[in-house]
Amino acid sequence: MIDLAPAHKIGLSLKSPLMPAAGFWGYGPNRYAPLVSAELLGAIVTNPMTLRPRRAGPSAPVAEVDGGIILPVDLPNPGLKKIIRQNRKFWRRAPIPLIAHLPADAPDDLARTVSALDALAVFAGFELGLPPDASPADAALFTRTLIRNTDLPALVKLPFPGKPHLAEAALKAGAVALTLADAPPAAAGTTAGRFFGGGVHAQLLPHLQHAAETFPGTPIIACGGIHTPADVRACLQAGAIAAQLDSVFWANPQQVQQILRYAQGAKSDDPLPSP
Amino acid sequence: MKPVTLTFIEKTRIAPAMWQFIFVADKPLPPFQPGQFFLARTGNMFSAYLPRPLFLAPCDEVAGNWPVSRFQLTLSARHLADRGLAWLFSCPPARKIDAFGPLGCGFTLPATTKNLLVPIDFELGMGVFLVGSLFTMRKSLNVTLAFESKNPLPAAIVRRFPPHVEITTTLTTDRLLWPDAIIAIGGIPFYQRLKARLSAVRLRPAPGLAQILLADAPLRPCGVGACGLCAVPTAAGSRLACLAGPVFDLATLDLEVLADD
Ligand code: FES
């Protein structure tokens, strides 16, 4: 078992170090069945949830570039009420821990979202997504807003490449683990958005290592372009104890299953066997 | 949805800027609706693009005899602008392509349908043989294919359809009043024209009368309903094109918003 919140009174234990990143799985039900077996995941990180619905902007084209794609990300979601209505039944009988991903929002809205989700008693933890332009004060404010409204562990997902000053502020405010990192901003042609793809992975590794050294004892979750079992291994060796899979779900869902199978039996302190 | 390996067999030019591709699946596939799609991995390991939606239809000679392993796909020159589909154009025969599907919701034809009108934007290519399986086996069905085309329709295309299918290139008022079901394949401007002409002759078209394939909908990046990025506006709120579509009721889609996107 891996504990993403060993210092927390409730803890957050996973039987596999792998989970989908927010935005890549949905809100619960396995859309990738039978290509991907949900029971091989350590947890499900939900798509972003905000109190009010957010519609995607005009559909700018996806730009395919070397190493991945650039995609406008407006965190579209149908709003908390609808998400709860559509998924509550699944959440109640979810076979693996659920982590609710909440983008930073107006503090009042964020507080109401956390309270409503916490009251359902179906989640094992929350992951707060900080925006790319967040300041340390913002990181502290959002994190405090989250933990004031729940007893569950709060993970904080940092903007790329995992800015240490934001990490420090979030940890001081009560976060128990860090996710490194959100997809980097990028632009190509008429498309401006975030860069997703295997090309992110190599850029991520030094930052993972730096975070693990700067915040010893804090669980670090790697996220960004992990497309192969070797990528998972490299992240764990760089100091992460778990990893979120993102663009590999889009590029090749069959490969996700291979990564999950490969990671079966891996322990946090035990580097994965060579692929 | 299941994984399937498609072997590319051949591509044949069927009109000046249109090709028919033939694929054989590694196993016979159970029935699926025209308009449902398969996501196919295109590109080699150094240029892997996002999977592309392929709108497969059973080959003419096997249509209606499910399970089927031989499929066709029509693409036109405009698809060459897409890197993933351009890769498909350059595939040598026997190339194996990993795919999964079927995904989404396709066209359905009520059993009570007697008169079926099929408006198709010919230049789009992909509609040409896509819906044939819906009517080739139902001899009692009156079918009119109405192709919109800038150029004369190639005789070879006309010959491919069974004799009970009427083929025309004009959509008259009579023809719009005649059908009890319409299935259309084109782009958003094509659907806007169709909707305007329909509402000019039918004051209140019955819900579900006209089904349209959002052939240009971005059925990606995930294609399975996981990312939420392919939402399209409908009268009942936004719906995911890859899950609730890509076939929609013409009356419920907000074409104006889609045209602006
Ligand atoms: S493409 Fe991801 S939900 Fe439709």
Predicted local confidence at residue B202, as pLDDT:
86
Q: Among B103, B134, B164, which residue terminates a domain?
A: B103
Residue of A25, A49, A62, A246 for testing the chain B interface, max B β-carbons within 10 Å:
A62
In terms of domains, do B251 and B126 share one? yes
Q: Which residues pair with A178 in a beta bridge?
A: A156, A220
Predicted local confidence at residue A73, as pLDDT:
79
How many angstroms separate the CA atoms of A144 and A170, rounded?
8
Higher pLDDT, A46 or B229: A46
Q: Which residues in chain A have Cβ-Cβ distances shorter than 8 Å to B1?
A: 33-35
Within a domain: B35:
yes
Q: A125: pLDDT confidence band, cut at 50, 70 and 90? A: very high
Domain total of chain B: 2
State whether A76 and B100 contact (CB < 8 Å).
no
Mean pLDDT of all residues in A199-203: 92
CB B116 within 8 A of CB B183: yes
Mean pLDDT of all residues in B12-23: 93
Predicted local confidence at residue A98, as pLDDT:
98
Q: B48: pLDDT confidence band, cut at 50, 70 and 90? A: low
DSSP letters, chain A, are -EES-TTSSS--EESSSEEEPTTSS-SSS-TTTTTS-GGGSS-EEPPP--SS-B---S-PPPEEETTEEEE-----B--HHHHHHHHHHHHHT-SS-EEEEEE---HHHHHHHHHHHHHHT--SEEEEEPPTT--HHHHHHHHHHHHHT-SS-EEEEESTTT-HHHHHHHHHTT--EEEE-PPPEEEETTEEEEEESTHHHHHHHHHHHHHHHHSTTS-EEEES---SHHHHHHHHHTT-SEEEE-THHHH-HHHHHHHHHHHTT-BTTBPPPP-
Å between A55 CA and nearest CA of chain B? 8
Q: DSSP character for B174? A: H
- Digit-coded pLDDT (tens) for B56-104: 999 987 777 889 999 999 999 988 888 889 999 999 999 999 999 999 9
- Exposure b/e, A125-161, CB count within 10 A at least 16 = b: bbbbbbeeebebebbbbbbbbbbebbebbbbbbbbbb
- Calculate the average pLDDT of chain A: 92
CB A28 within 8 A of CB A160: no
- Check which CATH number belongs to the domain holding B134 and give it: 3.40.50.720
- Check which CATH number belongs to the domain holding B45 and give it: 2.40.30.10
In terms of domains, do B173 and B62 share one? no
Q: Which residues line ligand 1 (CB under 6 A)?
A: B 219-223, 225-230, 240, 242
In terms of domains, do B186 and B147 share one? yes
Q: DSSP character for B253? A: B
Predicted local confidence at residue B195, as pLDDT:
93
Q: Is the pLDDT of residue A268 over 50?
A: no
Q: A57: pLDDT confidence band, cut at 50, 70 and 90? A: low
Share of chain A above pLDDT 90, in %: 80
Predicted local confidence at residue A269, as pLDDT:
44
In terms of domains, do B152 and B221 share one? yes
Higher pLDDT, B32 or B46: B32
pTM tops 0.95: no
Directed axis angle between helix A80-92 and helix A107-120, to 10°? 20
In terms of domains, do B134 and B191 share one? yes
Within a domain: B109:
no
How many angstroms separate the CA atoms of B239 and A24, rounded?
18
Predicted local confidence at residue A138, as pLDDT:
97
Closest Cα in chain B to A78: B238
In terms of domains, do B196 and B216 share one? yes
Contacts of B39 (CB under 8 A, 6+ apart): B51, B52, B53, B54, B99, B100, B101, B103, B219, B220, B223, B224
In terms of domains, do B132 and B227 share one? yes
Within a domain: B110:
no
Q: A189: pLDDT confidence band, cut at 50, 70 and 90? A: confident
Beta strands A63-65 and A68-71 are: antiparallel
Tokens 């579209």, residue located: A76
Candidate of B103, B222, B232, B238 to mutate for ligand 1, largest count of ligand atoms within 8 Å of Cβ: B222
| Span of A125-129, A142-146, A257-261, B227-231 with lowest mean pLDDT | B227-231
Q: Considering only CA atoms, which of A261, A82, B4 is closest in space to residue A245?
A: A261
Within a domain: B32:
yes
Predicted local confidence at residue A267, as pLDDT:
44
- Calculate the average pLDDT of chain B: 90
Question: How many C-beta atoms lie closer than 10 Å to residue B152's C-beta?
Answer: 8
What spatial distance separates the first Cα and last Cα of chain A, rounded to whole Å? 21
Tokens 């989640």, residue located: A123
Q: Is the pLDDT of residue A159 over 80?
A: yes
Q: B44: pLDDT confidence band, cut at 50, 70 and 90? A: low
Within a domain: B18:
yes
Higher pLDDT, A179 or B172: A179
In terms of domains, do B128 and B98 share one? no
User: Coil, strand or helix: which one is B210?
Assistant: strand
Within a domain: B14:
yes
- Digit-coded pLDDT (tens) for A70-119: 988 777 889 999 999 999 999 999 999 999 999 999 999 999 999 999 99
Q: Is the pLDDT of residue A270 over 70?
A: no
In terms of domains, do B71 and B26 share one? yes
- Digit-coded pLDDT (tens) for A126-147: 999 999 999 999 999 999 999 9
Q: Among B58, B78, B103, which residue terminates a domain?
A: B103
In terms of domains, do B90 and B135 share one? no
Q: Among B44, B75, B103, which residue terminates a domain?
A: B103
Within a domain: B108:
no
In terms of domains, do B49 and B74 share one? yes
Within a domain: B236:
yes
Closest Cα in chain A to B258: A58
Domain range A2-263, CATH class? alpha beta
| Span of A87-96, A189-198, B129-138 with lowest mean pLDDT | B129-138
In terms of domains, do B97 and B132 share one? no
Q: What are the domain boundaries of chain A?
A: 2-263
Candidate of B36, B105, B230, B238 to mutate for ligand 1, largest count of ligand atoms within 8 Å of Cβ: B230
Beta strands A98-103 and A68-71 are: unpaired
CA of B249 to the centre of ligand 1 (A): 19
| Span of A37-46, B91-100, B120-129 with lowest mean pLDDT | B120-129
CB B104 within 8 A of CB B4: no
Domain that holds residue B204: 115-260
DSSP letters, B59-72, are -GGGTTSSSEEEEE
Nearest to B50 among A32, A76, A251 (CB): A251
Predicted local confidence at residue A75, as pLDDT:
78
Q: Is the pLDDT of residue A275 over 50?
A: no
Q: A256: pLDDT confidence band, cut at 50, 70 and 90? A: very high
Higher pLDDT, A79 or B257: A79
